[in-house]
Amino acid sequence: MRRVRVALTEAPGAPFTLRDADLEDPRPDEVLVRMTSAGVCHTDLAMRDTWPRQLTPMVFGHEGAGRVEAVGAQVTGLAPGDHVCLTFASCGDCAQCAAGHPAYCHAARARNLSGGRADGTTPLSLDGRPLHAGFFGQSSFATHAVVHERGVVKVPSDLPAVVAAPLGCGAQTGAGTVLNRLRPDPGASLVVLGAGGVGLSALMAAVAVGCDPVVAVDPVASRRALAIELGAKAALEPGSGLVAELRDLTGGGAHHVVETTGRPEMARRAVGALRPRGELALLGLGGEVTFDVMGLLAKGIRVHGVIEGDSDPGRFIPELIGLHRRGLFPLERLVTTFGFEHIDAAVAAMGDGAVIKPVLTFT
């Protein structure tokens, strides 16, 4: 047992509060990681605001990066001192995991969104009472986390932790949607709706594999400007003439559209911007979306729902690091750092569009 510092929420929608808590030693199949960085993702905030009251207080955070401090007796391939990236939890045994698609693990909810481990326990306690944790298998808004070995990916020691952290969710979600699910041919047109961390990760991946043109859509001027710097041929505001503009830019309609906003009206506009037999990937957390089925049938549209970029993190995160090393995935361009104690400032800056990917740093 060790004393750690956590950012917890006392109730659904409540602000983050820094508290001291107790963390168990790792079990035989678990790893103790000292956090050096943790990304802040819109999913953290969306889930915080809708989290069940009976599962509070709760520690969120699911883009952790740090150093291994201890490993359980059954852990292989990891050792104290290793630099690591933390990612979502999966069982490793179900049909989806066996097929290389752990994002769709049959036990995903219990392992990522239950407020604890799959068996109902939590490694954290507060004033002697269990403290809900295990968000995406990690709860990385903390100085330390105990994580199942499947959620830990070793990274090069010279990779900056502020780059490693977003790889665990946002970066692999956006890039993986392009590289693992859509798999565009060179020269295919691709449109990204929403130029946040996920959208710009998709954009960088599309540019890296030779999509042309790549077009971004976002209401924030600074994000549109960055999209152009990262290789987009055009960056548009989501105005009333958007569909016509996109069809014109892509020669009659895009081959692929990646929708990251979670807004139903944007998903419907995406269908209008696609060419016959085009593909729409839905990534954003949102509510119900209605489509004109005849419109989908007539154009032969494929609609993909994608979680975590359909990634196998142990394979895919090293691929993204390889692209980063070649200068083809400059993830650091999206990052703004905040000290862990300034988590509320990070949340506010993301909320008003001032920053794209806030990353907390730990001393």
Residue 353 has pLDDT above 90, yes or no: no
Closest to 85 in 3D by CA, of 134, 135, 147, 40 = 147
Give the global pTM. Answer: 0.96
Which of 2.60.40.420, 3.40.50.2300, 3.90.180.10, 3.90.870.20 would CATH assign to domain 2-168+330-361?
Answer: 3.90.180.10
Homologous superfamily, domain 171-308? NAD(P)-binding Rossmann-like Domain (3.40.50.720)
Domain ranges of the chain: 2-168+330-361, 171-308
Q: What is the pLDDT of residue 286?
A: 79
Taking a C-beta distance cutoff of 8 angstroms, is the pair 314, 308 a contact? no
pLDDT per position as a tens digit, 274-310: 999 999 999 988 788 888 899 899 999 999 999 999 9
pLDDT per position as a tens digit, 93-107: 999 999 999 999 999
Angstrom distance (rounded) from CA 132 to CA 115 = 5
pLDDT per position as a tens digit, 163-194: 999 999 999 999 999 999 999 999 999 999 99
Tally DSSP H helices, then E strands, for the chain: 12, 18
**Residue showing tokens 């995160």:** 317
The b/e string for 314-344 (b: 16+ C-beta within 10 A; e otherwise) is bebbebbbebbeeeebebeebbeebebeebe
Q: What is the pLDDT of residue 204?
A: 98
